[in-house]
Amino acid sequence: MALLDLNASVPAFEGRTIAIPPQPERLAPQERLVVLLSRRDPLSSLSPRGTGSRLLGWLFGITAPHRLADERLETLRRFAVLHRLRQSGAADATDEARRAGFSSAQLAQVRGLVDSAYAVRPLRSVGALTQRILFALVGLLAFGSLTVWLTPQFDSVLVAFALTTVGALTIAPFAGQRAAG
């Protein structure tokens, strides 16, 4: 068995220093979280809350996202929302973010986080949409045909419609399931 003597000097590296390139400034975990959470914030979340916003919240429970207590993080959220929505105030938000202490590398990371949310979205298949429409049309045709067929049996359109509806509601959960495979 061979042992390695770590205290022995290696002539090739004696007296040399190895320069490690500086790492670009990275976003802190809390800053990354703010950017990720801001990807669903509407543009209206950047404006101050008005009476209408409070009224909607009271009547319907619709609430706008609150401003963050930390002004630096709120500046970052504002920058991320304006970049995502490609608004005209994005240049001002960039200047504001730089004044808040964010470097160009950090702002590039924010742009990357925001843009990556849209890069991974799957495209909707036209074939799947066509299949759903055809399935709905066949269902409506079967519903109507069954109602017309049952009407003379019960001498009432209303009774035939009610029975067909109950049958359709019973079968519908099973029709939407896909085969496990």
How many angstroms separate the CA atoms of 122 and 13, rounded?
52
Residues 60 and 76 in one domain: yes
Containing structural domain, residue 169: 126-175
Residues 93 and 168 in one domain: no
Instruction: Please give the pLDDT value at position 179.
Output: 47
Residues 101 and 130 in one domain: no
- pLDDT tens string, the chain, 181 residues long: the values are 566 666 666 565 566 666 666 656 788 888 888 888 888 777 777 776 666 667 767 777 666 666 777 888 888 888 888 888 877 777 788 888 888 888 888 888 888 888 877 655 555 666 777 888 888 898 889 889 999 999 998 888 999 999 999 988 888 777 666 544 4
- Considering the domain boundaries, does residue 42 fall inside one? yes
Residues 59 and 78 in one domain: yes
Instruction: Please give the pLDDT value at position 71.
Output: 83
Residues 163 and 147 in one domain: yes
- Considering the domain boundaries, does residue 114 fall inside one? yes
Residues 148 and 107 in one domain: no
Residues 49 and 69 in one domain: yes
- Considering the domain boundaries, does residue 181 fall inside one? no
Instruction: Please give the pLDDT value at position 129.
Output: 78
Tokens of 150: 């049952």
E-strand spans in the chain?
Answer: none
Residues 113 and 44 in one domain: yes
Instruction: Please give the pLDDT value at position 16.
Output: 65
- Considering the domain boundaries, does residue 161 fall inside one? yes
Angle between helix 126-154 and helix 157-175 axes, rounded to 10 deg: 150
- Considering the domain boundaries, does residue 15 fall inside one? no
Distances (CA, A) of 116 to 33, 38, 79, 106, 136: 14, 13, 16, 15, 35
Instruction: Please give the pLDDT value at position 59.
Output: 73
How many angstroms separate the CA atoms of 83 and 110, rounded?
9
- Considering the domain boundaries, does residue 180 fall inside one? no
Per the structure, the count of domains in the chain is 2
Residues 113 and 137 in one domain: no
Domain boundary among 119, 139, 167: 119
Residues 36 and 106 in one domain: yes
Residues 113 and 36 in one domain: yes
- Considering the domain boundaries, does residue 159 fall inside one? yes
Residues 94 and 140 in one domain: no
Instruction: Please give the pLDDT value at position 180.
Output: 46
